[in-house]
Structures are given as structure tokens and as C-alpha cells.
Amino acid sequence: MVARVARKPGLTPELRRFLEAARLAGCPPDQVRRFRVAGYAPQPKQLAFHAACRVCDVAGGPNQVGTGGARGGGKSHALMMQIAADDCQRHPALKCLLLRMVGKAVRESFEDFRSRTLFALPHQYNRVEGVLTFENGSQIFLGHFRDEKDIDGYLGLEYDVIGVEEATTLTAAKYTAIRTCCRTSKEDWRPRLYSTTNPGGVGHQWYKRLFIDAFVEGTEGETRFVPATVDDNRFVNADYTRTLDELTGWLRRAWRFGDWDISAGQFFTTWSREVHVVKGFGLPLDWTAWVAVDHGFAHWMVALLLARDGDGKFYVVDEYAARGALVPTNAAGVLAMVERNGRQVDGVRVVAGADVFARTGAAGLSIAQQYLEEGIHLEAANMDRVNGAARLLGLLGDVERGIEPRLFVFERCARVIEAMPQMQHDPHRPEDVLKVDCDDEGVGGDDGYDALRYGVMEVGEMGRAYVGEY
């Protein structure tokens, strides 16, 4: 049974609309009454989430409910209010865990949430312990983790309700482990786990498989999912919406529109072989050229020859790649790459990652000094990972949105072409690319990407190649 809107005197049009929306969403009358007592008026997608949470009461119903998919959809508020204003108020002595990565964030957000929204619900809050206690004995424990190993501290404990913020920051194994804590000895209560999330992160694939695929295919059993974007939250300010609209690549698809079809967190979603890979041609003498090196031995050594034309477009012209080769062999390969494109190595700048400048070996020579003995003077590359990834995103453009690309790769540059579509975002630092090594057979790895990142960071904001002493 769901709440029905009675046309009683005193019902304002706004309240009547809210009650009607709650009825259509499937919220039971007692849930709606509790929300009104708490002074909480959920928006339509939040109401859909709350209704799904109450289906967990039904024998054979779901035991996991997720919501979100994009940023700014009001999912965190809905999760907290479901636990605090509904579950904890209707059943005494519930033990609830609210779990989120990094404790400071969850406690600060909870303190802000508590002061703004729980003023109508008598409770005590122990900020030091991170425990909120209601008059009927129900409690909310604020849990946190910085690394996945911190999850182990909760294993073996028992919680009637668990709320997981940003669930895709967990691996499938840790999510399964925390689910084992969601159990109860109360005969009149079905334990349940609520979660909020965005696409991307280390848990992207398992969350998509468990929640999203079942939702899309209409095969939900133990799970329910309620999608929400910033468009579903009328309280989000216009500046935040504009910020999301200005994102590019996978960030825009994931955070603005909640697109789960990004490939396991693929970073450069605007990369397209059809758009960015071109046939090679002779390097014009009036183009600025430079070389970027990601040195390696166990993993790939990749050197790229890059160039810029007069219109501000950039080209990865040629590539040298080797694995398990010593400096003399690699240096010969770099020299040959530069010379076959009509340049001399003493006429172009050659930059490399910082590891080549560390002294090593019995002779105490750095890798850079060994290259110098072979006729190649290496300079330190700008290794700013976040800005390097952002600059690459900008150079790739976005054909679907009418933003022209300014970076092109000659088809002979196999390591770059292989690496770009495989790069994923770092789940702990979404604005960065996840560091990954090749396997024992030399397959995969980010060496081609790193060399390209070093290369594009040698170009200023106005497209001017930095000038150094050769």
C-alpha cells in the first residue's frame, strides 16, 4: 500500500505535489509520515530510492539497493536520510554502519548533514567515537577506510543496515567481505545494504555487473538500482552544473551523465584510431621537433619524435621501442629514428623521466650520463602526471562535440597507439592515469603513454615549444 493524497483543507500545492510524487514512487504511508516529521521532502529520484529500500522488508525482496551514476544527483543525502529518518526511527536498537573512504570526509559531511537535517529527530552524537544514537536505541556508526585493508577491521561485526558511500572505490572482494557483516538476530528485520556510486574506479566492473546490467535488462532480484544525475537535483547551483558540462572525455560521460559503458574506467574516451591515427609523411623542415624518452629495461624503453606545425597541431612522427636493451643499443635506435626523419639529434631537444638522472652502477654513472657518452644529451621532462593527462585530453579534442583534435599519431607508432585506449583512471586519484606495467611477455604497459605525456608537456599553453641549450 502506498500513500494517497487526500484533498484536505490546509494542504499546500507544494505539499500535495510531494505526496502525489511519493505515492507514484511507491513509498509506504508510514515512511512518508516519518519524512514529514523529519522535515525532509525528497525529490522524485530520491523517493524512488526510498521506495526501493522499503521493498527490502518483503520476504524474497532485494537486500542491496544502489543509487547514483552521476555527480550532483542528491544520492548521499538520500542514503543518510533513509537510514536516519526511516530505518532508525521505525525499528528500535538497529545497528547501522555508514562506510566511506577516508574518515575525515565522512565525519565532516555527516556533521554538516546532522546539523542541517536531523534537528527534528532527538538524538545524541559522540563526535569523537563517530556514533549517533536515537532515543529508541538505534545507532549509526561512522566507518571509514583509507586503504582496502582497513575494511578488515569491520569484518566479524554485525550490522542490521550498512550504507556504503562511493561503492566503486571498493574491489569486488572487499564489497563481498563487508556484505558478510550485514546480518541480524532480529526476527522482524531483514538486513540490507545501501550504496551510492559513480561510474569509474576500481569497482566499476563488478558494480556494473551486479547492479547496472540487472537494472538495464530488467532482471533485478537481490538488487535494485535507481539512476540519478545532476538534472534530478533542483537544489544544485547552476555553476556546478556548468562545471560538469565543461568536462571532457570519460569524466563528462561518467560524472555528468552517469554513463556506465566507459570501458572499465578508460581515461581517454575521446581517443579514436579513425580520428587520431594518420598515415606518415615527410617531416617538414620548418616544423619544430623534439624527442621524449621513457627509459626502461625490464619494461619498455620508448622514445618518440614529436613535431608541431604552423597551425598549432601536434604529431607523433616516429617511435623507437625496445625491451631488455642496454643504453648503447637504445641510443643507436634513437639516433636512427631522428636521422631518418631528416634531423640531427644535436638539433632537437631530448627530454626524459627523472629516473635516468639517478646515479647507478659500479661506475656511478647515471643513465643520462651513459646516453651522453653515446652522443645524446637528455634533459629532465616535466613529469606532472595530472596536468600531462589533462593536456592530452585537451589536444585530443572531442569530435562528437565539435571540438577539433590537435594531436595526431603516425600509424608506425605502435606503442602509443596500443597504450592510449588502454589507459584507465586511477581510482584513488580520478584526474590521473593509473600506473600499469607490462606483463612478463611484454604485453601492455603505460610506457608509450608516459613518453607521449612527457612530449606534450614540452609545449607551452600557447603551443610554443620550449627552447633550451642543445
Predicted confidence (pLDDT) per residue in 208-221, tens digit: 889 999 998 899 99
334 exposure class (CB count in 10 Å sphere: 0-12, 13-18, 19+): buried
Separation of alpha carbons 242 and 247, rounded Å: 9
Q: Looking up cell 604497459, which residue turns up?
A: 445
Show Cβ contacts of residue 17 under 8 Å, excluding neighbours closer than 6 positions. none
Please report where in the chains the cell 543509487 appears, as a residue: 67
Q: What are the DSSP E strand ranges found in 63-219?
A: 64-69, 95-101, 123-126, 131-134, 139-145, 161-164, 192-197
| Residue 412 burial (C-beta neighbours within 10 Å; 0-12, 13-18, 19+) | middle
Please name the amino acid found at residue 166: E
Listed in sequence order, the residues at least 6 apart from 247 whose beta carbon sits closer than 8 Å to its beta carbon are 255, 256
What are the residue ranges spanned by the domains of the chain? Answer: 13-256, 273-456
Instruction: Give the residue-averaged pLDDT of 139-160.
Output: 80
List, for residues 66-107, the tens digit of each pLDDT value. 999 878 778 989 999 999 999 999 999 999 999 887 655 556
Separation of alpha carbons 262 and 258, rounded Å: 10
Question: What phi and psi values does residue 140 have, to the nearest 5 degrees?
Answer: -120, 120
The whole-number pLDDT of residue 6 equals 42
List, for residues 365-424, the tens digit of each pLDDT value: 899 999 999 999 999 999 999 899 989 998 999 888 888 999 999 999 999 998 898 898
Tell me whether strands 288-294 and 349-352 are parallel, antiparallel or unpaired: parallel
Q: Is pLDDT above 80 for 152?
A: no
Which residue shows C-alpha cell 574518515? 103
Q: What are the backbone angles phi and psi of residue 429, rounded to the nearest 5°?
A: -155, 80
User: Average pLDDT of the chain?
Assistant: 87
Counting residues of the chain whose pLDDT is more than 90, the rounded percentage is: 57
- The cell for 80 is 543518510
Whether residue 53 has pLDDT greater than 60: yes
Inter-residue contact 262 to 199 (CB < 8 Å): yes
Compute the distance between CA of residue 219 and CA of residue 124 in angstroms, rounded to an integer. Answer: 41
| Average pLDDT rounded to a whole number, residues 139-163 | 82
Of 226, 174, 225, 220, the closest CA to residue 201 belongs to 174
If phi over 0 gives left and psi between -120 and 50 gives alpha, with beta otherwise, what is residue 145?
Answer: beta
CATH homologous superfamily for 13-256? P-loop containing nucleotide triphosphate hydrolases (3.40.50.300)
Q: What is the DSSP letter of 159?
A: B
User: May I ask the CATH class of domain 273-456?
Assistant: alpha beta
* pLDDT of 465: 33
Q: Are 82 and 254 in contact (CB under 8 A)?
A: no
pLDDT of residue 146: 65
| 3-state class percentages of the chain: helix first, strand second, coil last, to nearest 5 | 40, 20, 40
Model pTM score: 0.63
What 8-state DSSP symbol labels residue 107?
Answer: H
Query: Per-residue pLDDT averaged across 179-203, rounded?
Result: 90
Strands (E), 344-442: 349-352, 359-360, 365-366, 379-380, 407-410, 425-426, 429-433
In this prediction, residue 361 has a pLDDT band, given cuts at 50, 70 and 90, of low
Task: Tell me the CA distances in angstroms from 301 to 292, 357, 412, 437, one per residue in order.
Answer: 11, 15, 16, 12
Q: Which residues pair with 100 in a beta bridge?
A: 144
